[in-house]
Structure 1
Amino acid sequence: MTKYYELEQLGHHKDDILLMIHADDAGLSCSQNAATIEALKMGIVNSYSIMVPCPWFWDMANFAKNHPQYDCGIHLTLSCEWKSYKFGPVLPASEVPSLVDQYGYFHGSRETIKKLADPSEVKKELKAQIELALKAGIQPTHLDSHMYTLGLTNELLKVYKELGEEYKLPIFLNKELLQSVGNFTPIPQLGTMVHQVHIGNFNAMKNEGLSAKYKEIIQDLVPGLHILLIHPAFNNMEMKQVCLDHPNFGAEWRQMDFDFFTDPNTATLLKERNIKPISWREIQLSSL
């Protein structure tokens, strides 16, 4: 039976509210890297993960190598959802043909990945991403999945679990995230899951703004292990071009993420609620 992380197992009281504020998509662009680094140094964001196949990977890898004190995961990547900004696998496209389009880039949608991706090629490519990260000097604390594509099917989840076991790293699992990508099938003996995952939403961004949504999330947290997923970047020309015709998780959204989670008032709010920070490194050590 799938288990959840128990607070006592993590060295905390059962009534504690544990929160990881985790920045996805480092390596995606120069803007993403700069905002992620600044957010980490501000101290509220305490975890991030890197997309190895992206053009700006090496910039972020150099930061990770020289700043091992920050919690850093590998954002296992099988998709490229952007209209004009493209990237593909670490391996030659000829070695993983089910993972690429006619031009050799990753597919743009979960539906296409679910339909076409060969699990053996998925594992081959993701092992190559992990090995490249290790070669670059990154000391990963966990594995997670871009667009949660590794939750699309139980066959892909099996690959995810096997990679975690092989590299002795915790993998990011959550029941609601699995259901959000359409996987409602029973998944026995998969691993240990995070209690709750929180993400902003597009309607909130366009109406009252993400600041109000994040304040509501923080105010409503209950005892347990929570992860709040953000995507900090600057709303500059580079990021606008990356996110062309893609307002959901677009440049405006990413600037809002950066602004709220570098605001000293957010740190005050967390302190007022006695919310305790936790990182994947702590989870990793508790499972040894």
Structure 2
Amino acid sequence: MNSVQKLGFSENAKLLIIHADDAGLSHSENMATIQSLEEGFVNSYSIMVPCPWFYEMAVYAKNNPKFDYGIHLTLTCEWENYKFGPVSPVSEVPSLVDENGYFYKKREQLRKSATPEDVKKELQAQVEKAIKFGLKPTHLDSHMYSVGSDAKFLKVYKEIGEKFDLPVLINKQLMQMVGLDPDINIKEGEFVIDNTYIGEFKYFEDGKLGDFYKGIIENLTSGINLILIHPAFDDSEMKGVTINHPNFGSQWRQIDFDFFTSEINKAKLKENNIELVTWGDLNKIRKGK
């Protein structure tokens, strides 16, 4: 019996999580995420604990437990003029920060500088802060999949999942994206998402990001599938956050919001016999329930 059948679906069922990353990044990100959940067909999201707008999104998560959410474990900050750093005191995780005490912009910098010990300390602190706040996450995932910067960090990531008895996002495509060999780093018996889809800059640049999402839905294969999006508004706040960074910038995030709140696009799920599932559903499989 495969994972799909364990959830009560037929062997060839097409299951899909539509997941909004980066909640907590900004007020704009939070408002768009909330609207995507309540009025669109996004059915999962994850929260960045180190970010300034964590509190707002965490309060929403506590007050709206019907929506599935996880912790978006964060080790990098890619923005030019908008910065954040670790939850832990900088003095306790010095290898994770630049000369100003902020997370590095790129995975490569993290790979060169960070120690597994500091990575473990910080990831654990982020989960503990969320739980202390009263959150009950269904899973753990990773901002920029920075936990895949190094195989040692990925091992720590999996250990954090085990410690808190939560599934972590493990997927072949994401590992390949960050330069890890899935054949070496995915172990037998680990819970794996079959297919993960995330927009590429070439589609945005060509004005075809919506077509990319449409194509995924129309050609989805059987198994457990995940679409990762970043809904926000193309407003002054997000323009400031993403200045000089069109890749996953404010315009891109507005497109994500518009596509996944469209009734026409939502109807495509039914047309293509796609069933939405959540991380909470998948957790039941993992625990054998």
Global fold match (TM > 0.5): yes
Asked if the contact 2:14/2:224 (under 8 Å) is kept, the reply is: yes
Question: Following TM superposition, by how much is the alpha carbon of 1:279 offset from its aligned partner in structure 2, in angstroms?
Answer: 0.3
| C-alpha separation in 1, matches of 2:14 and 2:63 | 31
Please give the secondary structure, in 2, of the residue aligned with 1:148: helix
Partner of 1:257: 256
Give runs of aligned pairs for residues 174-253 of structure 1, distance below 5 A. Answer: 174-184=171-181, 186-187=184-185, 188-189=187-188, 191-253=190-252
Aligned residues: 285
Partner of 1:150: 147
Question: Following TM superposition, by how much is the alpha carbon of 1:285 offset from its aligned partner in structure 2, in angstroms?
Answer: 1.6
| C-alpha separation in 1, matches of 2:98 and 2:190 | 32
1:110 pairs with 2:107: yes
Asked if the contact 1:22/1:227 (under 8 Å) is kept, the reply is: yes
TM-score, structure 2 normalization: 0.96
Q: Which of these residues, 61, 73, 84, is aligned with residue 76 of structure 1?
A: 73
Give % identity: 52
Asked if the contact 2:78/2:106 (under 8 Å) is kept, the reply is: yes
Please give the secondary structure, in 2, of the residue aligned with 1:193: coil
Q: Which of these residues, 80, 86, 110, is aligned with residue 89 of structure 1?
A: 86
Asked if the contact 1:161/1:191 (under 8 Å) is kept, the reply is: no
| C-alpha separation in 2, matches of 1:126 and 1:116 | 16
Name stretches of at least 5 consecutive residues in structure 1 with no aligned partner.
none
1:127 pairs with 2:124: yes
TM-score, structure 1 normalization: 0.96
| C-alpha separation in 1, matches of 2:8 and 2:98 | 46
1:52 pairs with 2:53: no
| C-alpha separation in 1, matches of 2:281 and 2:40 | 16
| C-alpha separation in 2, matches of 1:43 and 1:272 | 17
1:23 pairs with 2:20: yes
Please identify, of 166-175 and 148-157, the stretch whose mean Cα deviation from structure 2 is larger: 148-157
Question: Following TM superposition, by how much is the alpha carbon of 1:287 offset from its aligned partner in structure 2, in angstroms?
Answer: 1.6
Partner of 2:267: 268
| C-alpha separation in 1, matches of 2:102 and 2:89 | 10
Asked if the contact 1:161/1:190 (under 8 Å) is kept, the reply is: no
What is the identity, as a one-letter code, of the residue corresponding to 2:103? Answer: F
Please give the secondary structure, in 2, of the residue aligned with 1:48: strand
Partner of 1:283: 282
Question: Following TM superposition, by how much is the alpha carbon of 1:114 offset from its aligned partner in structure 2, in angstroms?
Answer: 0.8
Asked if the contact 1:52/1:74 (under 8 Å) is kept, the reply is: yes
What is the identity, as a one-letter code, of the residue corresponding to 2:32? Answer: A
Which consecutive aligned stretches of 4+ in structure 1 deviate over 3 angstroms post-superposition?
A: none
Asked if the contact 2:204/2:252 (under 8 Å) is kept, the reply is: yes
Please give the secondary structure, in 2, of the residue aligned with 1:69: coil
